[in-house]
Structures are given as C-alpha cells and as structure tokens.
Amino acid sequence: MVLWKGRFSKELNHEVNAFNSSLSFDHRMYKQDIRGSLAHAKMLCKQSIIEEKDYEEIVEGLNAILKEIEEGTLLFDPEAEDIHMFVESELTKRYPVAGKKLHTGRSRNDQVALDLRLYAHDEILEIKKMLVNLIHTLTDLAEHNLDTIMPGYTHLQRAQPITFAHHLMAYASMFLRDIDRLEDVDKRLYVSPLGSGALATTTYPLDRPFVAEELGMYDIMYNSLDGVSDRDYAIELSSALATIMMHLSRFSEEVILWCSWEFKFIDLDDAYATGSSIMPQKKNPDIAELVRGKSARVIGDVNTLLTMMKGLPLAYNKDMQEDKEALFDAIDEVKLCLPVFTDMMATITVHKDKMRDAAARGFINATDCADYLTKKGMPFRDAYKITGELVRYCIEHGETLETLPLDVYTGYTDMFGEDVYQAISLETCLNNRAVVGGPSPKIEMENIHRINQKVSGYCD
Ligand code: ARG
C-alpha cells in the first residue's frame, strides 16, 4: 500500500517501484523501526497529541507485527517501498484509525536516521563481544608461549629476539583499540534525530528528550537539518570496521606466511584449512586468505559512504538510501570474519622448535653483542662496527655468534671475555628486554593481566 498516494493521479510504474524500494535490504531494521515507533507513540500520547486508546492499539499492533515477523508468519511485502512503509501500512490494516495516527509529527527522514542509529548501536555491542573473545583467545595463547622464542622482524628480515607471546599481544593491543574506537563512535552515534521531521521539525509539541530517554540514547540532535542528513556515524563506524579488517588482514598475512613450509612456525587445525582439487599434498590457509580479501570490500564500503555524501546539499536526499547496503556489508563482513578467525587461532599448533631454529639463525643477537661491548665502556658506534665485522666473518666462515671461538672475538677487541656467550644467548637477550612494553616473559605476563582486566570491563 502506497501511503503518499494523495498528490498523484497515476499508480507508480512497476519498475520504478522496484527501483525505488529499499525493502530488500532495510527489512533487517524491522526491530529498530518498531522500537522507535513505540517510543514515538508513547511520547505522542504523553503530550496528548494522540489519545490513550489509539496509543494502546498502536502498541498492541506493533508488538503483534514484531512477533509475527519473528515467527515467520508475517512476510515482507516486496511491493512496499521500505521497512517504515511496510510496518506502518501493516499496522493501519489492523487498526485503521490508530495506525494512521502513528506518523503524526514524524517523517521517514528522521525515522530512517533513527532506525539506522539504533541498528548500528545494537551491532556495535555484538561486534565488541566478538573482539573480546578474540582478545581472550590471544591472551590464552600468549600465556602458553611466554618463552617461545622467535625472531622479531623488520623489513621481513630477522631483527631481534622476541616471543610468540609478544607477537600475539601486539595484535591483542590493536583489537583493544578497536573496541575503544567502537565505543567512541557510539558516543556520537547513539543520539536521537527523531523530531527533526522532514527537515524543519514540526508544529506539534513533541518531547524529543523523552523519546531519546525511552530508547536509552545519550542525547538528542540539536539541529533538525543535521538530524535528518548527518551520516557521519555511518562513515565513522564503517571506518572503525575497516580498521578492524585491516588488523585482521595483517594478522592473516602472517598466519599465511607462518603456515608455509618456508616458515612452518604454526600449523592450522585440519578443520580450519582446505585442500586442493589437484595437488594431494596441499593444505591451504583459505580462511586467512579470505579474511585478507574481504578487508578490501570493507575498505571499499567506507569509500562508498564518503563518496555518496560528499556532494549532497542539505537536507535529506534519496542518495542516502544507499548508506545502508554499504554499512550493512561492512558490519556483516566483520561479524563473519571475527568468530571464524578467532576459532582458527584457538586451534593452531605452535611449532616452538621451528621458531627457535629461525631465531638461532639470522644474527638476531647482534644488537646484544654490540650492547655487551658498550656496557664494557666502548662507544656504541664502535661496538656496532666491530659486531658488523664479526657478523661478516661468521657469514664467510659458516659460523654463528654463539659458535664463534673466543680467540676470534678477542682478535677484534680484548674487551671480549668468556661472558660474551652468556650475554648473547637468546634467553639472556629476551629476559633482559624487561622495559615496559618489552618481550621479557615477566613484563609480558603483566601486560596479559592488564589487557585481560581491561577486557573484562568491556563485557559489562
Ligand atoms: N528508504 C528511505 C531511506 O532509506 C527512507 C527515507 C525516505 N524518505 C523520503 N523522503 N523519500 O533513506
């Protein structure tokens, strides 16, 4: 049923109706649409704009519609223009008088802005929980790998010794920031535009703060043009989601490398890897690759929203209907990727020996060798130069700093003594990096506690 019929002398062309309709994607906001309408109707009744009896029928009707949609007994009419029209016309079918009063003092422009904010807020809560689960998985894994020495890299070249725990906790820190970012977006997002009307409010004595409070929102929006045409929240949220995907994608890239025979630092559980249709030996990290691939479309969604908004004059324009598919896609992809990635990580096998082997080659204790000389009084630049020469000697003679005889060391400077071997052992290199933020197991454990504590606060 088209509710805006009065002005028109012809039925809408069938194809135009299909083109114009957003129901195929905005029907997912049915709960939020009904929640918003219930709050609006309550306020209309409180302000004596509608009668008590009408309000009661509206509540009854909307609750029944909600229940029937949920049970699958009420199907969305594909002819409806959008979810707002569908719910209102369904209500009007059931309660012809009261149903027609629901939209008093409201426009679909402020209604859709409200619904999308309610929807986004609900999804933020879900996504936060998923991030908390991922962080817990990472802190658990880190606790089991506090002394699993591996090379830390710069330029993908072995650089200095760290632990697998330290590497995992770097990602835990990123996901913690992601939670923070979502909470920050929510502060600006969860405010009520309802009462902005089509663009210039209304002449009815609406109580806007009452509606916001009824919905548990933090505040109302204070300019009606902005109320109906602001989509910053969709852009901010999709950007926070794209950042989550970027983090997952970097992590995926490492998982893919670590699973390769070239690294073999980890193995994926058979349930989280796939085979090849032709090569019998293959075990492919498809999940990680797909997460990395999907990050592209979420980054694309942010671009869609920014580009869609950049040329729009105030206030509402139909272009804005395009906001939903981009935002929904970003939300869907993040919600798809987070749990499967978390489960994949929870079931990996860590090859501590392979990490250790890689750490033992590549001269990742060279900085510590230079620091050894510096601590004995040699200026760092001189110590750096001598260590570089020692590394070259090792490469030419197939040695490592650990296996190099003492007389070769002392040939470069007599500051070297027997204690150099202790100073450059990987364990020493690791344990001595006990600065806050460093990889020493003691410091790492403190960080794990700190993050676990923070995360438990997020669950409340
Ligand atoms: N389906 C529309 C949207 O998603 C709802 C608002 C329509 N408002 C209007 N004046 N045509 O943006």
Using the mean position of ligand 1's atoms as its centre, give its distance from the Cα of residue 109 in Å.
Answer: 6
CA–CA gap between residue 187 and residue 416 (Å, rounded): 59
Q: Provide the 8-state DSSP code for 76.
A: -
Which atom of ligand 1 is nearest the CA belonging to 82?
1
CA–CA gap between residue 95 and residue 44 (Å, rounded): 17
Tell me the two tokens of residue 357.
């082997």
Backbone phi and psi for residue 375, each to the nearest 5 degrees, phi listed first: -70, -20
Using the mean position of ligand 1's atoms as its centre, give its distance from the Cα of residue 310 in Å.
Answer: 18
- Which residues, other chains included, contact 51 with Cβ-Cβ below 8 Å and sequence gap of 6+? 45
Which atom of ligand 1 is nearest the CA belonging to 22?
1
Its pTM stands at: 0.94
Residues with CB under 6 A from ligand 1: 22, 26, 82, 108-109, 112, 316, 318, 320-321
* pLDDT confidence of residue 2: 66
User: What is the residue-level pLDDT of the chain in tens, covering all 460 positions?
Assistant: 566 677 888 888 888 889 999 999 999 999 999 999 999 999 999 999 999 999 999 999 999 999 999 999 999 999 999 999 999 999 999 999 999 999 999 999 999 999 999 999 999 999 999 999 999 999 999 999 999 999 999 999 999 999 999 999 999 999 999 999 999 999 999 999 999 999 999 999 999 999 999 999 999 999 999 999 999 999 999 999 999 999 999 999 999 999 999 999 999 999 988 877 877 787 899 999 999 999 999 999 999 999 999 999 999 999 999 999 999 999 999 999 999 999 999 999 999 999 999 999 889 999 999 999 999 999 999 999 999 999 999 999 999 999 999 999 999 999 999 999 999 999 999 999 999 999 999 999 999 999 999 998 876 5
Mutual angle of helices 83-94 and 30-46, in 10-degree steps: 60
* pLDDT confidence of residue 1: 56
Element (H, E) at 266: strand 266-267
Ligand 1, atom 12: closest residue by C-alpha? 321
Using the mean position of ligand 1's atoms as its centre, give its distance from the Cα of residue 112 in Å.
Answer: 7
Ligand 1, atom 4: closest residue by C-alpha? 321
From 3, 25, 82, the mutation candidate for ligand 1 (largest count of ligand atoms within 8 A of CB) is: 82
Ligand 1, atom 11: closest residue by C-alpha? 318
Using the mean position of ligand 1's atoms as its centre, give its distance from the Cα of residue 42 in Å.
Answer: 23
* pLDDT confidence of residue 4: 65
Specify whether 155 is catalytic. Answer: yes
Amino acid in position 450: R
* pLDDT confidence of residue 387: 97
Q: 39 and 215 in contact (C-beta within 8 Å)?
A: yes
- Which residues, other chains included, contact 425 with Cβ-Cβ below 8 Å and sequence gap of 6+? 365, 402
Ligand 1, atom 3: closest residue by C-alpha? 321
* pLDDT confidence of residue 383: 97
Using the mean position of ligand 1's atoms as its centre, give its distance from the Cα of residue 188 in Å.
Answer: 22
Catalytic residue among 276, 397, 449, 456: 276
Residue 331 C-beta-side C-alpha neighbours within 13 Å:
23
Which atom of ligand 1 is nearest the CA belonging to 26?
4
Closest CA relative to residue 33, chosen from 102, 119, 123: 119
